[in-house]
Structure 1
Amino acid sequence: MQGTWLRVSHPLRQAVSGAIRYCRHRTAAVFPSPVIFGGSPKSGTTAIAALLAEATGLSISNDPFWRVLRSDGDGYLLPDVLEGNLPLDAFVRKYPAYFSARIVKDPDFVFLYRELQQVFPESPQVFIVRDPRQNIRSILDRLHMRGDLEHLGPAENRRLAREGGWRAVLDGRGLGLDGRANYIGRLAQRWVRGVDAYFAAGTPVHLVRYEDFLEDRGALIADLAELLGLELRTDVDARLARRPTHHGHRSLSTEAFFGERNLALIEHTCGAHMAKFGYA
């Protein structure tokens, strides 16, 4: 009897969650001028945007594209927006609950600065950049994948099949990447595309290096709030002092993690832009 209830309850929970999301989208109002964060996945967009929201007391909405993929059943819509099949303003109107907060963060926004400027002309935008070697390594750590493979094998592809949008990230869907490159090469190209989009934005986009955030999180958030014209409502340093610091543990050097070939591929692909941000 209990097993039957569990089998029935899962689709029931899904139906209830879907109904709640439907009602939220029908009743939500898009905030006209949110602070918009973009950057590569695992570049620090979540940490920085969340801490800014906490420090200023503002509401935050995370990852509209990812939430649509995981919750609303419409698949991964970034390629449709990039290719012009789905105008960004139509995307926003369809999912207003994901754009009702004062701060809206999605790594994929890095490819949509101009479109976002048209939909939210009064919105300040922020670009988070991170050393591509550590950025790509963090993505692979998240997926429990090695960085020294020549190509992804059956085990890695099965893992990606379970991970939803990460398959699209590694493939670079909608970005016109070189399909002959291996998974490291495509991730490096994706990093370059994001940086290219930042430089080509045509509108002021505030730059934050993730490494500067790690060096002094409180100072960076205070400076960013002032730059964006936001009022600090909490003592960031006091909050951070009460939190444990997790530096993680990496037993492998960058060279050992990627291997000589893949590390050289990242540095060759990203090298020109790395120098602009001080990544030796």
Structure 2
Amino acid sequence: MALTNLRSRLAGALPMNKGKGKVIVAGMPKSGTTAIASLLAEAAGVEVCSDPFHQLDSKGVCFRDALFSGALSLESLWRQHRSVFSGTVVKDPNFPLFLGELKQLLPDAHIVFIVREPRDNIRSILSRLNIPGNPTDGKLLLTSVKGTWGRVLNGTSPEMPGSDYLEKLAWRWRISAERYLESQERIHLIRYEDFRKDKKVQIDKMAGELGFSDLKDISSLVDIQFQPKGTRPASLEDYFGKENLKRINAIVGPVAKRFGYE
């Protein structure tokens, strides 16, 4: 443990490069970040780093409270654990909350922001975790969801406003989207729905915009299920309930329209 701490301190003292050639992929959980980052890396023939925050959790590194409270900077965390953040393509569902810092920390890196229709995004998260769309039915099940997903549902580390998991997820979507809108200059935007329509075309197009050439053919990979797929309900109103859907709409609606979502 002492040797590990010493290595972290030494790594923290080394200078950071400016991110030239690196691609940062940011987006909500279940917005397609894993698939898009993985397919982009495959097409470009480069390494992908997936979920460095979760990797740090798995290593027993306690950083979230300090990071999200502002006591620890993203730069300090990245410096101390740069081996965890290694890879040409680096994706994490927490990155949307740090878009401004990422642009300053890695000014020469490309940043990709992925957005998904908010109500469907929330539905996908809950379906993935087998949590009902109605919080009245799902409240007692929250204690069974631990770790990273538990923090997402409970709106902790990072702290999210809201009275239940529906509102907390809606606020996380809205805040993530607002961070993009505040910092959108020089950030590549891709809508999950556009990606789903023609994955290869979207990945090849994005790879070209990011400066990659001599792309590999990913046709055989585009239908791989990179994350467990939830069940899709007949309608969002059936899934959430009319009043719950209204609550979600009240939070995400004003921002969702900026991305073409009604």
| TM-based fold match above 0.5 | yes
Query: What do residues 129-186 of structure 1 show as CA deviations (whole Å, max 9, x unaligned)?
Result: 00111111111112110011237433x13212xx20122212323555334x221011
Counterpart pick for 2:208 among 213, 226, 232: 226
Counterpart residue type for residue 37 of structure 1: V
Aligned to 1:271: 253
How far apart in 2 are the matches of 1:73 and 1:110? Answer: 23
| Structure 2 unmatched runs, 5+ | none
Q: Does 1:58 align with 2:46?
A: yes
Counterpart pick for 1:38 among 26, 46, 55: 26
Q: 1:248 to 1:178 in 2, by over 3 A?
A: closer
How far apart in 2 are the matches of 1:40 and 1:120? Answer: 21
Counterpart pick for 1:149 among 131, 135, 146: 135
How far apart in 2 are the matches of 1:244 and 1:126? Answer: 21
Tell me the TM-score normalized by structure 2.
0.86
Aligned to 1:88: 74
| Structure 1 unmatched runs, 5+ | 1-14
Query: What do residues 186-236 of structure 1 show as CA deviations (whole Å, max 9, x unaligned)?
Result: 110110000110011264211110000000001100110111111243112
Superposed, 1:186-265 pairs within 5 Å as: 186-201=168-183, 203-237=185-219, 239-240=221-222, 249-265=231-247
Q: 1:65 to 1:238 in 2, by over 3 A?
A: closer
C-alpha contact 1:152 1:183 (8 A) present in aligned 2: no
SS of 2:169's partner is helix
Query: What do residues 227-280 of structure 1 show as CA deviations (whole Å, max 9, x unaligned)?
Result: 111124311235447x69998643442111111121111111111111111212
SS of 1:231's partner is coil
Counterpart pick for 1:177 among 145, 157, 160: 160
Q: 1:214 to 1:167 in 2, by over 3 A?
A: same
How far apart in 2 are the matches of 1:96 and 1:256? Answer: 45
Return the index of the structure with the highest Cα Rg. 1
C-alpha contact 1:24 1:97 (8 A) present in aligned 2: no
Q: 1:103 to 1:215 in 2, by over 3 A?
A: same
C-alpha contact 2:96 2:180 (8 A) present in aligned 1: yes
How far apart in 1 are the matches of 2:232 and 2:217? Answer: 31
How far apart in 2 are the matches of 1:221 and 1:139? Answer: 23
Which one has a larger percent helix, Structure 1 or Structure 2? 1
Q: Does 1:99 align with 2:81?
A: no
Counterpart residue type for residue 133 of structure 1: R
Aligned to 1:126: 112
SS of 2:142's partner is helix
How far apart in 1 are the matches of 2:225 and 2:190? Answer: 23
How far apart in 2 are the matches of 1:83 and 1:201? Answer: 21
**Percent sequence identity over matched residues?**
36
Q: 1:275 to 1:231 in 2, by over 3 A?
A: same
Counterpart residue type for residue 173 of structure 1: T
Aligned length: 256
